[in-house]
Structure 1
Amino acid sequence: MALIPSDPEQKAKFEQRAVMALLGIFGIVFFFGPMRGMAFLGNLLPKSASAGAVAGAGVNMSRPLSEMVQSYQQRSDPEYQLKVADASSDSASPAAAPNYTAIDLRNPFESLLPEPPSAPVQTAQELTPPEPPKPKITPPSDLIIEGLIWGGPRPQVLIKGQVYYIGDRVGGGVITAIARGGITMDFEGTAVQFSTIANAGRRSLSRSAQWR
């Protein structure tokens, strides 16, 4: 068995010779074929030397030499290396996310029936009932002024034989004013005036007149 020299220069020369020897072996095998190449090497080298050279080169004799040469050619092929790189990148890429559909994400406890239409939301103004319309007030047609006293501290009016003052209620209205020409009454916010009519038998008394 050859010893590797310890001197760096001799060691470098030894390694160069070993590499050239390996290249020569691969060249012979490549040109002459596996079987003929091994036979040619067997003729060039003694049996013990050829076995030692092959063992020293680190060749694995458990694999056929043709398979080793084919593997070496594949590794040296750029297209093969590109395919290996693509395969490694594909294996390293993360798996694609599963494509879920709506039926997969649906809640099994959720009903698929259409929901009934919701009632419209009412505001407080809509919930407040509208005020009932005020009844139309019709002043009584039989309210006849028989006499009145105006201008004093307490004006009076005579209606159907009864004496009324300002603020009294009669005929569905309230007396608000007593003047020389008649009276003013309020019927639920509506002011109505009643005048004295001479030809109807009504008479206006003076301030000093007395009721009889």
Structure 2
Amino acid sequence: MKLVKCMTALLCAAQVCLATLAGAAPLSITLPPETAAFKPSTMPGYALAQQKCSVCHSADYINFQPPGMSLAQWTAEAGKMQHVYGAPISDRDVSVIGAYLAVTYGSAKANDADVLAASNAPAAQLPAVAGAGAKVDAKALLQNNACLSCHATDHKVVGPAYRDVVAKYAKDPQAMDRLMSSIQRGGSGKWGDVPMPPFAQLSPDDLKSLATFILQQ
């Protein structure tokens, strides 16, 4: 009899705990802001790594790799991101980023012949530059620069929905210039703590095309 009473009491206590938890406010966990950054370099892969690698992971991921990796190893690592994880990078990006990582974090030297070759893709591999006044394809820019990995037109992904951006700048006469500057320089704090990488390599025409597309959503 005592055992039955004890079990009943325990069941009642458990029910009270569950009811209390059910009525409690959901836990809110705030992660600290990102502080890791790619090591600065004058190599072209530095800007690409900031832009495209930061879309999927922190710069700290690089520090978790074995020290002293060669150009071939770093290039294979970048290639894995492209082919296995679907990173929005081209074959040329893989070579250029691999060269930067191998010199900055690995065993390669900036003046190695194979590093110089990887950092400077043949002209045939470079994207064509539009002539003056030519129309820039905004959707291609969005795809090629991994913008759609963090943004969507009508809902928040990592960054704000483009329609929310339009609402923010709706009454701002400087909307175009401010948005172009935000795309070019990147930053954090406007929409939360998650940083947006800079897109400093984009031309004024590219920036204007992207800003125009966003403001038309």
Interval of TM-score (by shorter of Structure 1 and Structure 2): under 0.3
Q: Larger Cα Rg: Structure 1 or Structure 2?
A: 1
Q: Which has the higher contact order (CA 8 A, sep 6+)?
A: 2
Higher percent of residues as strand = 1
Q: TM-score, normalised by structure 1?
A: 0.22
Higher percent of residues as helix = 2
